[in-house]
Amino acid sequence: MACRISELVIDAADPDRLAAFWGEALGYVELGRDEGAIEIGPPDAGFGGPQPTLVFVPSSDPRTGKLRLHIDVNATDRDQDAELERLLALGARPADVGQSGTESWHVLADPEGNEFCLLRTRLQPL
């Protein structure tokens, strides 16, 4: 038996702001709060379900350098262009990490500057 990812923990200057952004982006709901940390996840499954939850932990440590891990997302109910517009309206912004401009994905940053990619392929919702 192998292990699987149950949650991703992300340092945040403003956990409420990031939880709100990622909750809207992914269709997640707040699952709980503990000592300033906020956990969000799928509304019907929560922790331990088929998708990992996200936990935003308060941190005042400044980010240094490139992120060593980033999140990739795919639209489930619209094409990539429509999803890009939706994410930008939620507060994402384009990010430059040295891409050539010919990629099939868009590099974005969440409200705290954490890079993530919007991939082209539409996935079936879970």
Instruction: Note the pLDDT of residue 126.
Output: 76
What's the number of domains the chain is made of?
A: 2
- For position 10, which CATH number holds? 3.10.180.10
- Relative to beta strand 37-41, strand 53-58 is antiparallel
Per residue in 107-125, pLDDT (tens digit) is: 999 999 999 999 999 998 8
Domain membership of residue 16 as a residue range: 1-60
| Same domain (yes/no): 49, 84 | no
| Same domain (yes/no): 51, 95 | no
Q: Identify whether the C-beta of residue 123 lies closer than 8 Å to the C-beta of residue 74.
A: yes
Instruction: Note the pLDDT of residue 15.
Output: 97
Per residue in 12-71, pLDDT (tens digit) is: 999 999 999 999 999 999 999 999 999 999 998 877 888 999 999 999 988 887 778 899
Taking the C-alpha atoms of residue 43 and residue 28, their distance in angstroms, rounded to an integer, is 6
Instruction: Note the pLDDT of residue 68.
Output: 81
Instruction: Note the pLDDT of residue 91.
Output: 98
